[in-house]
Copies of this chain bind each other. A is one copy, B any other.
Amino acid sequence: MQLSRDRVVAVYLVETPHSLEKAAEVLAGEQSTGTFTAVPGETADLKKRFGARAEGIRPLGTAAAPSLPGAAIPAPGGGYNRGEIRISFPLHNFGPSIPNLLAAIAGNLYELKELSGLRLVDLELPAAFTSAYRGPKFGIEGTRELCGVRGRPIIGTIVKPSVGLSLEELGRLVFELAMSGLDFIKDDELNADPPYAPFERKVDTVMDAIHRAADKTGKKVMYAFNITGDLDQMRRNHDRAIAAGGNCVMVSVNSVGYAALTELNRYSEAPIHGHRNQWGMLTRSPMLGMDFRVYQQLCRLAGADHLHVNGLSSKFYESDESVVRSIQSCLMPLGDTLLPMPVLSSGQWAGTAVKTYAQTGTLDVMHLAGGGILAHPDGPAAGVESMKLGWEAALSGEPLAVYAERHPALRRAIEKFGRPVETVSEKSTFES
């Protein structure tokens, strides 16, 4: 629900030694007209026109101990009050600018003594904000078009080992993968433009392998070249990838920042594959940082065509419920922007398709498996085949094990990577 065409709403989960009303007042004051002591010029009229406003407070109970250190002490008998607080800001305070929005909705708030916990859980941007950013140039539809894939997820993998492959080894691996029926291959986030395999030569090596495979198969695999770096390096490497016939570039969003992603989006000629490494730092403490629901809006406006969301039953700490919410948030409208494609990875294999489809009901994802494809007992082609079969099984509604009886590539994947996920607990043998 958007309150107004000219206000931004930020929703916070807060924990405070004071009342929630007082916390709301502090939040609003700190981030708009307030200072610690009245100064000349801070008139009632100025406060009315420029003040942030508490729009709603929902109590969520009281904690005995503070979640974060350094907060003030509650009054005797009191605890740390938790609640959700909606604050609205006049858009004209900062204008349609992601960097300046962040100073207002996040800024110094995380350091306030009046709060023992603060998490930005939602963000509602008016059209006057979202329309100032181009957003994804390709999104789900543009990516499907480039990959020639309809009616199922885009199946992909990550070049492994992450670090250290010679160009010769890389070329052989990419050729083998491209021959395997894959739709998509990406560089690892650890591998961009390293001294031992400079980007320029990597592009030539990879695109030569992809073109050779395409000559045989008729299908040109999408390859996300990791161009993460300083700006001139990103520009140069983007241009090299495009010149060599590349059709996707990858960026570690948190490594370069929103402004650099926005800049890349201005001149990019291929989908931008947004990697979210370091995201855990911003989100794993439950009463600090922000929810993916907010983060994906910023990444999307700044230009991410694809956005990593972890995978279900992954090797990471995140719950499946949280991953599902992340996928759903990418698929929600945001102004007139194209929808970005959620990217599932980490501990993925054919079996995780069933669970993913059951819980999200969408096929609009990229489903990436590293070992789940590369380490398939019958080789990468069988690995890819098993992933496609996993989604077919999911769509068919038939149990994976039953479906696998007629499909050896799937059966062999189950033998190696785990029992079918719908019949086992969260932690499959695959992950051990």
A69, A107, A282 pick with most chain B CB within 10 angstroms = A107
Contacts known (A39-B370, A42-B161, A233-B97); A277 close to B194, Cβ less than 8 A: no
CA–CA, A252 and B97, complex, Å: 13
B190 pairs with A32, CB closer than 8 A: yes
Measured between beta carbons, the chain B residues less than 8 angstroms from A37 are: 371, 375
B162 pairs with A230, CB closer than 8 A: no
- Residue on B nearest A165 in the bound complex, by CB: B41
CA–CA, A377 and B327, complex, Å: 56
B282 pairs with A281, CB closer than 8 A: yes
In the assembled complex, A431 has its CB within 8 A of some CB on chain B: yes
CA–CA, A346 and B109, complex, Å: 13
Distance to closest chain B CB from A157 (angstroms): 10
In the assembled complex, A85 has its CB within 8 A of some CB on chain B: no
- Residue on B nearest A287 in the bound complex, by CB: B285
CA–CA, A280 and B110, complex, Å: 5
Taking the full assembly, how many copies of this chain does it contain? Answer: 2
CA–CA, A44 and B262, complex, Å: 41
Name A65-123 residues within 8 Å CB distance of B: 68-71, 91-95, 97-100, 102-104, 106-113
A106 pairs with B231, CB closer than 8 A: no
- Residue on B nearest A258 in the bound complex, by CB: B257
CA–CA, A318 and B258, complex, Å: 27
Distance to closest chain B CB from A241 (angstroms): 16
A163 pairs with B93, CB closer than 8 A: yes
Distance to closest chain B CB from A267 (angstroms): 11
Interface residue stretch chosen among A309-317, A335-343, A387-395: A309-317
Contacts known (A103-B255, A260-B257); A68 close to B317, Cβ less than 8 A: yes
CA–CA, A319 and B111, complex, Å: 11
A36 pairs with B280, CB closer than 8 A: no
CA–CA, A259 and B192, complex, Å: 15
Bits for A266-296, please: 1 = Cβ < 8 Å to B, else 0. 1000000000011111101110111000000
CA–CA, A100 and B284, complex, Å: 22
CA–CA, A430 and B157, complex, Å: 59
Distance to closest chain B CB from A148 (angstroms): 27
The one of B94, B229, B231, B282 in contact with A282, judged by C-beta atoms closer than 8 angstroms, is: B282
In the assembled complex, A205 has its CB within 8 A of some CB on chain B: no
Contacts known (A70-B319, A189-B103); A230 close to B263, Cβ less than 8 A: yes
CA–CA, A285 and B119, complex, Å: 12
A111 pairs with B317, CB closer than 8 A: yes
Q: When A and B form their complex, which 8 residue pairs have the shortest distance between CB atoms, in order from nearest?
A: A257-B257, A70-B317, A110-B280, A50-B164, A99-B255, A111-B280, A37-B371, A285-B285
